[in-house]
Amino acid sequence: MTPNLSSTTDLPMDPGLFQGASIKARYVRFGPFCIDQQRQQVSRHGARLRLQGKVYQVLIVLLQKQGEVVTRHELKQALWPADTHVNYDANVNTTVNKLRQALGESTDKPLYIETIPRKGYSFISTAEFSDVPFVAASPAGPQTRGSGESPAASEVAATDSPRTKRWLTVIIVGLILAGMLLGAGVATYWISHFAPQLSHSATKNTNCVPSSNAC
| Domain 15-130 = CATH 1.10.10.10 | yes
* 76, 105, 148, 128 alpha-carbon torsion, rounded to 10°: -10
Q: Amino acid identity, residue 10?
A: D
pLDDT at 8 over 60: no
What is the spatial distance between Cα 161 and Cα 209, in angstroms, rounded to a whole number? Answer: 73
Give residue 79's pLDDT band: very low, low, confident or very high (50, 70, 90).
confident
Give the three-state DSSP class for 154. Answer: helix
Strands (E), the chain: 27-30, 33-36, 41-44, 47-49, 69-71, 113-116, 120-123, 128-130
pLDDT at 76 over 80: yes
pTM of the model: 0.54
Lowest mean pLDDT among 86-90, 103-107, 137-141, 178-182: 137-141
What is the spatial distance between Cα 97 and Cα 47, in angstroms, rounded to a whole number? Answer: 21
